[in-house]
Amino acid sequence: MNEKYKSLFEPFTFKSGVTIDNRIVMAPMTTNSSFENGMVTTDECMYYNRRAKGLGAVITACAQVREDGKFAGSLSAASDMHIKSLAKLAKSIKSTGTKAILQIFHVGRNGSVSTLRGLQPVSASAVASEREGAETPRALADDEVRDIITAFGEATRRAIEAGFDGVEIHGANTYLIQQFFSPHSNRRDDHWGGTLEKRMNFPLAVIDSVKSAIAKHTDKPFILGYRISPEEIEEPGITLDDTLALLSKLKDQGLDYIHISTGHYMQSSIRDQDNKTPVLKTIVEAIGAEIPIIGVGQIITPDHAVEAMEKLNLPLIAIGRQLIAEPDWIEKVKAGKEDSIRTEIRPEDQEELALPDAMWEYVNASPGWLPIVE
C-alpha cells in the first residue's frame, strides 16, 4: 500500500461499539432492481457481494418502511414477510467480512399513483415538488404521521432480525423526512410544522422510534446513522442555517454518524453563491467534534479520499458511483494498484461488474450519471 493512503485503512469504532476495519463505506445508491413486492432479487445480492469486500461498511439502497412509501424497484422493510428477503441481502454483504447497514425511508410526495397502485402520494402538506411531472400529494393526518413514525421503528426491528449491523435513517434527497423539515413541502400549523423548531419534530420522532426499536430488540452493538441534504434550491427551501439548527439537535440524539449528501465533497452553498466555503467544512466545524460526519460526492481516486479527510477533517468517507465502475476500488488501493482503478464502463463490462439489468437500464437513461463509453 502507498504510505499516503494509510489513513484510509485505520479502524473506526462508533459510539454504539461497532468497529469497522477502515474509513471507507459504500454510499447508498438506488438499484431499481427489487421485485415489485420489494423482495430482494438474486441480481441485487450479487451486485452488493461484488462490491463489499474490503470496505468498512456497505449502506444499501433505501428500503421503504411502508408500502405507500415506495418507488419502482425499491427494497422493502414494510412487513415481516420481507425479513427473510432482507436476510439474504445482509448475508450477501456480511459474507465478505464487511458490515451491512440498511437505509430506511418513505418516499413521500416523490411517489406516484401508478407506482403506489392507485394511492395518492402523501406528504407533510398538499404541495407538489417542482420536479417535472410531480403529482400533488395528500397531506397526512396527525394519526397517519404517528403511524409512519412507528413504521420506522418496525422496519428497524426487521433489519435487526434480518442480521443487519445497523440502519441509516434517510432524511435526505427530498424524501418524506426531508419534506417535513422543508418549508417548501411543509406548510402545516400543528405539532409537525409552522416553525423551524416544529418542522424538526418529525425527524426527531423518527429517531426516537428507531432508537426504541434498537433498545428493545437487540442487546448487541447496532449502528444508527442519519443522512441529510444540507440545502434546497426551492423558495422557500431549506437553508444551511436551518440545517445547522437541526444538526445541533441531531448531535445529541445518540447517533453513530451523520451522513451529508452532497454532489461533490468540496461543494459550497447552492443557495449563497458568495459563500465559497465547502458545506462539509462548515458542518464539521460546527458539530464534527461531537459526532462523526460521513462525507460523499465525486470521490473517485484515493487522493480525493485523502484530500476530503485532511482538508475537511472528515473521519469517514462514502464512495458511490465509483464503486459501480470499480467494485475492487478498496482492494486495489490496499494492494498498491491504484493506477489500475477503472474509471469508465463499457457495455460489455455489465456482467463482470454484476450490474442488474434494471440498474443498467436506469443508468443508461441518465446520461452522465456514470462514465459509460461505447
Active site positions, annotated: 175
For 19, the 3-state DSSP assignment is strand
Return d(Cα 135, Cα 109) in angstroms, integer: 7
CA atoms within 13 A on the CB side of 308: 30
b (16+ CB within 10 A) / e for 212-242: ebbeebeeebbbbbbbbbbbbebeebbbbeb
Nearest to 82 by CA among 152, 28, 162: 162
C-alpha cell at 271: 443557495
Task: Specify the length of the chain in residues.
Answer: 374
Residues forming a β-bridge with 316: 294
Count CB neighbours of 322 within 10 A.
22
